[in-house]
Amino acid sequence: MSLHPGLAAVAGLIGAWRGEGAGQYPTIESFRYTEELTFTDVGKPVLHYMQRTWSPAGAPMHTETGYLRVAGGTALEFVLAQPTGQTELAEGLLVATEDGFACTLESRMVNSGSAKQVDATERRLELAGDVLTTHFAMAAVGVPLTHHLASTLHRHAAAIR
Ligand code: HEM
């Protein structure tokens, strides 16, 4: 199956990524985590995305899934489902770099009735060869847009767990 030409700008994401991250927020204790992502080609101008995280002791932490759509070659639309009761639509323009790209995506959120209130998120993805860096900020539980997560991931031959 050949890659849809619309995916050219993000083709470097396809595959599995694994690495370490750190989280914080004004209302919680800081923490560290291990993260694994997969971006999978489904034969359309969209990649399927799956994220899982674990505590340093190996306990499951946050997971999320969705689709990364590419419009017009450089406009990224990240359509995400959160197990914490949010749906997140994050959009941004990709800037190509020598060995990858950088993109800041700003979101609109919908919260379920029992979910903690998340009003907006901002995600930064930086791909540089075999290294993927992520940053995540959110406006949530009455706190204005504030850093929550950062991780550095390395290309991995296959999903581990
Ligand atoms: C790598 C992914 C993530 C990890 C490891 C992570 C971890 C954590 C941890 C350990 C807490 C504190 C305990 C808790 O309330 O459950 C927390 C709180 C929270 N997280 Fe995350 N999180 C992640 C992603 C996200 C995402 C994507 C969102 C929003 C879409 C989010 C929204 C929140 C909210 C709203 C809180 C509650 C803050 C409060 O009640 O004061 N998190 N997160």
Q: Specify the pLDDT at position 159.
A: 55
> Does pLDDT of 160 surpass 60?
no
Mutating to test ligand 1, I would choose from 17, 18, 28, 114 the residue with most ligand atoms within 8 A of its C-beta, which is 28
Separation of CA 61 and ligand 1 centre (Å): 9
Residue ID of nearest Cα to ligand 1 atom 27: 82
Mean pLDDT, residues 87-102: 97
Task: List pLDDT tens digits, range 70-81.
Answer: 999 899 999 999
Q: Specify the pLDDT at position 1.
A: 66
Count of other CB atoms within 10 angstroms of residue 67? 17
Percent of the chain with pLDDT over 90: 94
Mean pLDDT, residues 82-99: 97
Q: Specify the pLDDT at position 157.
A: 81
What structural domains and CATH numbers belong to the chain?
5-156 (2.40.128.20)
Q: Where are the strands (E) in the chain, listed by range?
A: 15-25, 28-44, 46-54, 60-71, 75-81, 86-97, 100-111, 118-128, 131-140, 143-156
Closest of 15, 19, 87 to residue 47, by C-alpha? 15
Mean pLDDT, residues 29-53: 97
> Does pLDDT of 161 surpass 60?
no
Separation of CA 78 and ligand 1 centre (Å): 18
Which residue type, as a one-letter code, is found at position 16? A
Q: How far apart are the first and last CA of the chain?
A: 26
Q: Specify the pLDDT at position 53.
A: 98
Q: Specify the pLDDT at position 28.
A: 98
pTM (two decimals): 0.94
